[in-house]
Structure 1
Amino acid sequence: MKTLRRPLLLLRALAVLAGAVSVMSCFSNRQNEGATLYGTHCANCHGAQGEGLKRLIPPLAQSDYLTKNRNGLACLVRKGMKGPLVVNGVEFNQVMPPADTHLTDSQITNILNFVQTSWGNKGEIFTIREVSEQLRGCGASDGR
């Protein structure tokens, strides 16, 4: 009977280890999604390092706007923006195109979290629930 316990314990330990590795790989794949999405949808204007473009396009790196306007960031990404805004004391007045048709709530969450934690930004990360609530507030949640 004792000889059967050891293989069973070993099998259980291996199963737990395999499950942990599997879960970790899921998280690491999703972890990089924000960076990939940012590179595809945002970097052309805001820069690869979030530096913006002189006085035309606002920086996202070390941006006070992210902290001051946290409650509207999801809608800003989804709906875009037209009109002036001030970032780090500098006024910008260009059109930001909307992401209405090509980004899900989940993808917007991942982009926002990438921006919140990159280039010297130390913002609090968003949950999918928080982003979806913001988007429902501006009539723009897709529920995904």
Structure 2
Amino acid sequence: MSTRVTFRPALLRLLAALAAVALVLPGCFTDRQNEGQRLYAARCAGCHGANGQGLRRLMPPLAGSDYLQRHRAELPCLIRRGQQGPITVNGVLYDQVMPAHEDLTDSQITNLLNYVHNAWGNRAPKHTIREVSELLRACDGSDGR
């Protein structure tokens, strides 16, 4: 005895829609939530340390850095254009050159800043891409992406 299964048109449409969503959905999401961490590892950790600890009195720490809090509005331009000249972080004077990262998009700078501001015990409000793009206008550095 064979059992025959019949599908109603509404059920067929629902199944077709679910199948389409299952095929398309993975493409809607990217792995950008970890982009800031990956960018930090590739671009920053060599000088600032894997855990943001800095390098003695040569490279400033980012972990527990008072500079991040006091200069929040300047950080996007600092990343885009680099840093030359002395800065004081946690009461220690540093005078090394930080290279510019002009190839990063506004979005990548946003993700990088959000990672640094919330790693290693740092706690700061998240940046938005709009905010970073506006701050980058101060150094003629916004690419709008």
**TM-score, with normalisation over the residues of structure 2?**
0.82
Secondary structure of 1:91 counterpart: strand
Structure 1: gaps spanning 5 or more residues: none
Match of 1:125 in 2: 126
Secondary structure of 2:88 counterpart: strand
Secondary structure of 1:32 counterpart: helix
Structure 1 counterpart of 2:58, which letter? Answer: L
Q: Distance in 2 between matches of 1:44 and 1:34?
A: 15
Match of 1:56 in 2: 58
Which residue, 3, 11, 34 being the options, matches 1:6?
11
Q: Distance in 1 between matches of 2:8 and 2:135?
A: 59
Q: Distance in 2 between matches of 1:118 and 1:19?
A: 33
Determine which structure has more spread, i.e. the larger CA radius of gyration.
2
Structure 2 counterpart of 1:47, which letter? Answer: G
Cα offset, 1:9, TM superposition: 3.7
Cα offset, 1:89, TM superposition: 2.1
Identity of aligned residues (%): 53
Mapping for residues 1-144 of structure 1, pairs under 5 Å: 3-13=8-18, 15=20, 22-24=27-29, 26=30, 29-100=31-102, 102-144=103-145
**TM-score, with normalisation over the residues of structure 1?**
0.83
Q: Count the aligned residue pairs.
A: 140
Cα offset, 1:68, TM superposition: 1.1
Q: Distance in 2 between matches of 1:43 and 1:127?
A: 23
Cα offset, 1:94, TM superposition: 1.5
- 1:103-141 deviations in Å (ceiling 9; x for gaps): 222221111111111111111111111111111111122
Measured on the aligned residues, the alpha-carbon RMSD in Å equals: 2.1
